[in-house]
Structure 1
Amino acid sequence: MPTIAETERLWLKPYRMNMADGVYEVVRKQEIADTMLMIPHPYPRKQLEGWLDYVQKSFEVGHAFEYAVFTKEQPARYIGNCGLVSLSKAHRSGEIGYFIDPGEWGQGYATEACRKVIDIAFAEHGLNRLFGRCLVRNPASRRVLEKAGMVFEGRFKQEFFMDGAFEDVDYLAILKSEYAVSRD
């Protein structure tokens, strides 16, 4: 199994089935579903175990690398997710996705986790391009991507239909060469 990633304040760990209760306490919150493209509300508990199984298998075969996020201060308390999804090995590109428990918003955890996952994407997985996306009505998520080094590339109007309304989505990205310069 892959090793645990570490930042100054966080542990990023590959998902395990024994994390289900902690994960459920976060993903079941309305604020998470309201700001995420693919998380329903209410979140069915039974669906969580299927997702955890999928995430573990994807990690093991190298199709996606999603990490459970924990603080070093409370290492047993799950606070969110950050990872590489939608990987294309042929094009050496992928998407970064993340969410943090609403009770932990505003503390920089999402940015810190994203920076680490970007490091992993370029250093360990040989990606050349990484993109992230967020709902236009979620400027805090856009700021996370910008603080992690990504640059706005465009807006997809009415890209998703959620809760009876069309949603505009902003896309941001970073190239490996740009990231290397930003780290110097």
Structure 2
Amino acid sequence: MDNILEQYKKNKIVFWGIELKENRKLVGTINYVTISLKHKKAEIGYILSQEFWGKGIMTEATKEIIKFGFEKMNLVRIGAKCIVENTGSQRVMEKAGMTFEGTIRKGMFTKGKHRDLKSYSILEEEFSSEKIEK
């Protein structure tokens, strides 16, 4: 973990692998896509192989990266965004304790068109290990 902290301090992106517990098969990644140590805030991004959607795997990984951000990096705010049609990702963020903040209109260009994004965040004072671990 100390190595991960050092990489973030050097403004390097670190991808965390998401493995299945039973066989350690790599099924996705999660990371801080942006970090401002000066402002003590970050934004997370993640991707999971479609065959593992809806199994709670990404929710567990998101809770862990949030916990790491508040407890090890001393962040005060962690955010995330998803395309409005991505209800699975919305559920992940909500189950991880994040609050919906609003819609960013035409916030991303993907698959040939501009798409609206939903923005979520969690603040340090809203975080507790007990809440996240449930």
User: Normalization by structure 2: what TM-score?
Assistant: 0.87
Q: Distance in 2 between matches of 1:85 and 1:166?
A: 20
The answer as to 2:117 corresponding to 1:169 is yes
Q: 1:95 pairs with 43, 51, 58, which one?
A: 43
Q: 1:118 pairs with 60, 66, 83, which one?
A: 66
Q: 2:22 pairs with 73, 81, 89, which one?
A: 73
The answer as to 2:32 corresponding to 1:84 is yes
Letter in 1 for 2:20: T
Letter in 2 for 1:118: I
Q: Distance in 2 between matches of 1:87 and 1:166?
A: 25
Between 1:112-121 and 1:63-72, the stretch displaced more is: 63-72
Residue of structure 1 in register with 2:10 after alignment = 61
Letter in 1 for 2:80: G
Residue of structure 2 in register with 1:42 after alignment = none
Which residues of 2 match residues 1-12 of structure 1 at below 5 A? 2=1
Q: Cα RMSD between the aligned structures?
A: 2.4
Q: Deviations over 1:73-118 (max 9, x none)?
A: 011x210011222000110000011111111111000000000000
The answer as to 2:63 corresponding to 1:151 is no
Q: Distance in 2 between matches of 1:182 and 1:108?
A: 18
Unaligned runs of 5+ in 2: none
**Post-superposition shift, 1:64?**
3.5
Q: Deviations over 1:135-172 (max 9, x none)?
A: 00101101100000000001011112222211000000
Q: 1:105 pairs with 29, 53, 58, which one?
A: 53
Letter in 2 for 1:148: A
Letter in 2 for 1:176: E
Letter in 2 for 1:179: F
Q: Which of 1 and 2 has greater Rg?
A: 1
- Greater fraction of residues in helix: 1
1:82–1:114 CA contact under 8 A, matched in 2: yes
User: Normalization by structure 1: what TM-score?
Assistant: 0.65
- Greater fraction of residues in strand: 2
